[in-house]
Amino acid sequence: MVISARVHYACVAMLELAIRSDEGSPVAIREITDRHGVPGPFLVQILRSLRGLGWVQSVRGSQGGYRLSVDPATISLLDIAEAIGSQEVGCRTEGKRTPIAGILQAQWDDAADASRQVLGQATLSGLVERAQQGDASMFYI
């Protein structure tokens, strides 16, 4: 599973919205791009996808922006990665169905499952909690 910039940005946006979900007023795209250095028009695309999934709501007009519309405990990084579209660990090549190909395929599948399990356990609410406990500071000494 390759984490593309698109998926990474989608996770950043979802986390930012989750953290600020108790503010009441929606969060403008501009605030996210400024704070996280995400290219503006690209983030627009991504938020549109998230809106299509029903995970965020948009508020148009002045004072508009985006707001989380799901329980952050129910969304994992795996959900976001799969929905936004990232490539699986594994192989799409067809080739011949030989025993060797079969054994290899089983290994690719096992590897994919291992990383999927890690990302599946990382819920937005869990990560927000960590962020608020300052757990992140250790990464930027």
Partner DNA sequence: TTATACTTGACTAAAGAGATCATATTCATA
Partner DNA sequence: TATGAATATGATCTCTTTAGTCAAGTATAA
Instruction: Choose between 44 and 106: whose C-beta lies nearer to DNA.
Output: 44
Q: Dihedral (C-alpha) 6, 119, 124, 126: value to the nearest 10 degrees? A: -150
d(CA 136, CA 103): 40
Residues that bind DNA (CB under 7 A): 2, 4-6, 26-30, 39-42, 44-45, 47-48, 51, 58-66, 85-87, 93
DSSP symbols for 7-70:
HHHHHHHHHHHHHTTTSSSPBPHHHHHHHH---HHHHHHHHHHHHHTTSEEEE-STT-EEEE-S
State whether the Cα torsion 135-15-141-31 is positive or negative: negative
* Residue nearer to DNA on the CB measure, 87 or 121: 87
Select the binding partner of residue 28 from a copy of itself, DNA, none (C-beta < 5 to 8 A, by kind).
Answer: DNA
Smallest distance from the beta carbon of 60 to a copy of itself, in angstroms? 26
For a copy of itself, the binding residue among 54, 60, 62, 96 (CB under 8 A) is: 96
Which residues of this protein are in contact with a copy of itself, per CB under 8 A?
Answer: 1-5, 7-9, 11-12, 15-16, 19, 35-38, 77, 87-93, 95-108, 110-112, 114-119, 122, 127, 130-131, 134-137, 139-140
